[in-house]
Amino acid sequence: MNKQFKILFIVLLVVIGLLATSTGFFYAKTVSLQNEDKTSASQEGSKKITDTTATTTDTTAESSTPSAVTTPASLGSRPSSPSDTVTVKSGDTLFSIGQDVDVSWTLIAEANGITDEKIKVGESLIIPKNNQIGFTVNQEKAASLQKDVDAGKTLFRLSALDTAKSDSSPVYGIETTDNFTQDKIDETAGSATISVTHGDATYSINLIQPVTKGPKGIWAIESIKPAK
């Protein structure tokens, strides 16, 4: 009887040992799987953060696109300006100035956007020649503006249309809110033509690239004239 009891006791110990080993194995396996799930979740979270960062960077790049011109550039910041002007002196009238420069006073009034014939002493008036207003490019200023654009500043000057909007006022009374349309552009030759409608009149604005030709070159107005 004692012998049978011993055998039974030994068998019981073996079974308990097997159960303990099996329980330890499954516990270790469960912990391992939990750790793998945590690692996977952590990696997924890192991936999402990385993806979000990339998206933010792209959005920032898109937002750096130059906005449309809404106000005219100051006269001193333009690469070109009207070639022929006169300064109003005491006693001058549009009629007397027209006689002095041999241009109809009505054309002078139109060129300067004057509707009431009133002029002020010290005022600079633009004088049209051959039914158009020619512009002279300040090469030093143009080179400086090109450097600014190359450095990422005043990028609107890479657009012939935006340059026309910015630099045409106050010629013929043109305003930035008028309807501007790009008629043609040749970046190889560095030339472009923009049309603008102001009131009942339409004008043609010719531009050139005075420094660099192509998509990286700034634009400057060369002439403005009434459209035929």
Q: Which residues are registered as beta bridge partners of 133?
A: 224
Looking at residue 59, its amino acid is: T
Q: How far is the first Cα of the chain from the last one, in angstroms, to the nearest whole number?
A: 129
User: What CA–CA distances, in Å, run from 109 to 57, 119, 125, 180?
Assistant: 52, 10, 9, 22
The pLDDT assigned to 25 comes to 45
DSSP string of 178-217? SEEEEEEEETTTTEEEEEEEETTEEEEEEEE-SS--STT-
The pLDDT assigned to 21 comes to 56
Per-residue tokens: 187 = 């970046």
The pLDDT assigned to 228 comes to 73
The pLDDT assigned to 18 comes to 58
User: Which residue, chain included where needed, has tokens 């403005």?
Assistant: 224
Rounded-to-integer distance, Cα 18 and Cα 12, Å: 10
Estimate to the nearest angstrom the gap between the alpha carbon of 171 and the chain centroid. Answer: 25
The pLDDT assigned to 135 comes to 98
- Sketch out the chain's domains with CATH numbers: 84-126 (3.10.350.10), 133-226 (3.10.450)
The pLDDT assigned to 8 comes to 61
Residue 2 DSSP label: H
For the beta carbon of residue 225, count every other beta carbon within 10 angstroms: 18
Block mean pLDDT (10 aa), the chain, length 228: 59 59 48 48 44 35 50 95 97 96 96 92 96 97 98 96 97 96 96 96 98 97 94
Rounded-to-integer distance, Cα 129 and Cα 201, Å: 18
User: What CA–CA distances, in Å, run from 87 to 2, 10, 122, 193, 212?
Assistant: 134, 122, 6, 30, 34
The pLDDT assigned to 53 comes to 36
